[in-house]
Structure 1
């Protein structure tokens, strides 16, 4: 990391999308470790500094090296820190409440020197890691950090530390994920002058656990990263399930939803096949190979596989295909041309440099002057583009007025709709006023109130009776009959509509349609398991409510004048489309029996008389 202070903005950026972050060389002394905790409240932090355990405070200007581990808060209740002798090690053990599975994370910062004392300390730390692993023989072990040893290339070129590390890995059946995923051009360390590059940072696990990893990459250069190291990012499968209460708390408090929309129409079919479908097939191949027998599969196992598949689909599509997110909606506006985008990126880059330089507004500061100049250029280009766009619209209206009345009134209607499409800034719920960003909370209170049962009516009992009757019909037509076939699944997926908004899991219909053959095979196993065990995953229970105004001059401040449209999970729609034909088949059979049997019984009774 090469210091927390100059890289805290980059670390904050990494924490927005990663559950676990291992940091080396934060350069903080023990009395400054609170800065790590204050960085982002979604993660808990465990840290060690070089002066931990010293009898007297250190008088050095800054701390030396040492480690920190960021864990998402949903793992807090299941996490325990394991004591270590060396302050170069930080070990965390995470397990389920019933101890059915566990993970052992070891964050390490190895000595960088080449002296005999450094090599001896290197060997001692490896010995202590073996002791830590021995304390948890059933845990899945993941070692990560700066090992200061490059084990790429020919063994004859390795230094003593690289030889020690490779010997240790071989003896303990461990493997660096770098040896499986590394490209020839990858490196994790580069000297200040750029003359030396090496691969000295590693993520290490037992060889039996290699199949659990479905993504591994060296994160590219970023202007916010001032370190001489590049981070390694990996995704792996785990059977750990955070507690239900923690998931509910996170979902209820996170009002700001960042919607991600993959621009599938901007990529050709061949490109989607190469960069998305093939990658998903490789991941699903690993998932299928790790599946136990179908007879021993449970609903929880299937839910875990579904969550892993959806996360892989989202990660691969975002990494390889163009997308837009809620945080960048201005880029979706018509005036956001290529020239505007280039000046915006130049302004953003100069702003980051000025921010890293201490935000000095002095006229003698070249970073401040460059940022102001780029900002002025961006605004000028944006105004120019808006003017050109407005002129072309007016010209189009003038031309349509002379020869095409239908097009003329269509353009006028679009212009008026665009002028009227202003977001609601005030909402009144039960006499309480919500303004600005608080209107989201107002809508939440209103729809929560609608979902609560009213003691004055019998809607709840009626709905319960109807659902129970429907459940009885479903139970007779699904689990006791043949499971879904691949033909059933293909037909269900074929009914999904493209260019529709995704649900809370961000998975759209295109993610499933372009998933590939092996993705469909895995999805078939998952859906059959859900039905066989009458299991509903948590992802199917969440939706996003979009309040759409009913129009016709109704007041914007009244929430009852809005229609709540719920965006549900695409995988949930697939399951519904699988069950629907079987359910209709049974209902048609029941209806046929009701039509045939009464006349038949009547005829029999007549003959008996």
Structure 2
């Protein structure tokens, strides 16, 4: 083990439990796999429910350039994964509404893209596995019970925790780099000031209770563990940073679609220039014979619309409004400078900082409420619901873990893809009917009077009117607003494509593609598959669907 202070070895710990662990010489091999360093923090934050505390935490993580941060005592109920600024946080807490314990893992943008799997085991244990160059990294975040949580002489609670921890570690793949980042609530090591991680509220006692363990095979890849007393989130625990010689490898992901700012089409000048760009290309193609391949016709349309949208409409920009005032920022800086002493000055500054942040939060909520009331008066219900979700603190839930039919979390990437294949085969395919219908017994019905003429402009206009706004685009990245508000040039081009499809009875190949969107579901039992999926179709494919039911 490397870390702040000494701790009983795994062999000694197993021996104390009546087990024997044989020494394996192969485990002594030390491997340095890369020159890149990964910085992993370990911090007991003593709750993240106070206004502005998570913002201060993220600012500190950015300041120390951390990649991962193991968190304990978040005081968040339930389990889940959410986003805060450019960071993501996984938390594992109690199922009840009581805000106690809870462990978590804070991921930087790069670490989030390297995450292979995670499992929320209990309110004291969380495990996550990351993709790295040449090897995988598994991190176990744990928070040990304290003496005050158990009756004198009763060690059942502690034994249950350590047995569960031992089972978790024993199930980690042997070839992985294994890091156990833990708040053990037990004093170990000497009184070296650079290793002391906890200060008592009275400022008289300083102990070393936060540690990082690494498996013997990779011990030389762990380069340093150091306590940073200057980091501050308003608690009595210090930040411990573990430096590992390791490089995260980003998983291969689909390129994120950037949505066009379709609201700019309400500007007449922008709309005119947008139509002029598309019209120039359309006029050239209109002079050509319409016997060209439908896939080529569709590619010309999507390429032209996307190019014009990038040039004239631009992309939507996310709103991250800063609600913490400059006065609160100044108090946070003063509190940070006063932390090493942990005296009465620090306690007073901590009280003032928390009060100032609460006032800032109230002022921000008041502003959101005024905006909501203004949106309601203008009958803008979309903005009303957006403001309502901000007020109640509702955030978008990330897709939960993929489970097999037995409810077990699937950690292997190939197995997850196979599970998706099984899911869609069951969703989209039906069993063969046991009985077949003999159509020869039916008499011939009257010939139906169905309009078989090619689509006309009035039908295209009607179909566009049925498209709903504010819907996500498909693989073509063309929103319904662009088709509805894009002007006559786009509508004429759509008519040309629809007539081509109707005449040749062939649709573009891209119409058969959809973006698979995972939708998280609430777990009602241990055996449910907690993620379903829905495909996003292209807007023009939706526009063409009314022609299938013409009268």
Same fold (TM over 0.5): no
Q: Whose relative contact order is higher, 1 or 2, with alpha carbons under 8 Å and at least 6 apart? A: 2
TM-score by length of structure 1 reads 0.34
TM-score by length of structure 2 reads 0.38
Q: If each structure's helix is expressed as a fraction of its own residues, which one has the higher value?
A: 1
